Structure 1
């Protein structure tokens, strides 16, 4: 199956799943004497698509990225809550040349939580004042420390086991201690 066919199949499956859920919601509302008002359908579709990562010229090796509005929509939090997570070092953000923040999608699991091990690494570097691009490079650069894998790949290979998370966290803390802010 080609990548295009897989994508089309996934989009079709998502479209069908959304259709089923919307119809079920409309029926539930109708049963209680109410109607489903979707408002501006194009606006609703735009908000739904905002939860998907976007294409960005800097996608390799960190991307794809979420932008702030897309990540806020996906996580269902306020901009202020997201910026607080960035400030505390629990979400990795990279500032573009034009001042916008982008968020590498590789840090998130399917449920929107930052992957175990990544949050500890991001926190270690953030506390030292290391910029997001440098942290992203650290997370994605293969090294002997992780058996020839990057920190991200090492966590994936080891299914974010407590041992793998601890190893990544310790390596991040050690490296962050030697990096100047």
Structure 2
């Protein structure tokens, strides 16, 4: 029987990368005469999963989304700190019909920071009382203003350059003022 070639999925690659890093940490600790204490493995697994966005029925075009518990865990902040960021307009939150807040993952970079340009746009609309779903729609709707791209795509394509951030921030401020008028 010939062995089958297995296609490596992103999940397989992540699992292998974690295994390699854990094995290396175990060896480093062993060299120091210590052992790795993972504590409650299920709790650790839950905290690691919190770094991954959840699936939500409203995932297109805004999603996937983080829920409050997952985002608090990933960012390593309190719920109060997260809600303060939402109130100040530095994190985009959308309230679901059942009253829960969800946070579009598209606003975050890999390190958990809100992307430059998104912060300015969310802030401009939030100060004018615009709801999260409308802000999300503004961020993800293609427009001639950004060469047929959405504000998010414009920022990503231009790697959040100063010019791209300024263009998005200026347009958001202009549109937010017009919407509130």
Q: Where does residue 66 of structure 2 map in the other structure?
A: 66
Q: Where does residue 107 of structure 1 map in the other structure?
A: 107
The alignment partner of 1:103 has SS state of strand
**Whole-angstrom CA distance in 2 between matches of 1:138 and 1:124:** 12
TM-fit CA distance, 1:142:
1.1
Deviations 1:101-154 (A, max 9, x none): 100011111111111111100000011111100100010111111111111111
TM-fit CA distance, 1:73:
1.6
TM-fit CA distance, 1:38:
1.7
The TM-score normalised by the length of structure 1 is 0.90
Deviations 1:60-81 (A, max 9, x none): 1100001111111211222121
Worse overlay, 21-30 or 58-67: 21-30
Structure 2 spans left out of the alignment, 5+ residues: 1-5
The alignment partner of 2:180 has SS state of coil
Q: Where does residue 117 of structure 1 map in the other structure?
A: 117
The alignment partner of 1:179 has SS state of helix
Q: Where does residue 174 of structure 1 map in the other structure?
A: 174
Structure 1 spans left out of the alignment, 5+ residues: none
**Whole-angstrom CA distance in 2 between matches of 1:55 and 1:94:** 15
The TM-score normalised by the length of structure 2 is 0.90
Q: CA RMSD in A?
A: 1.8
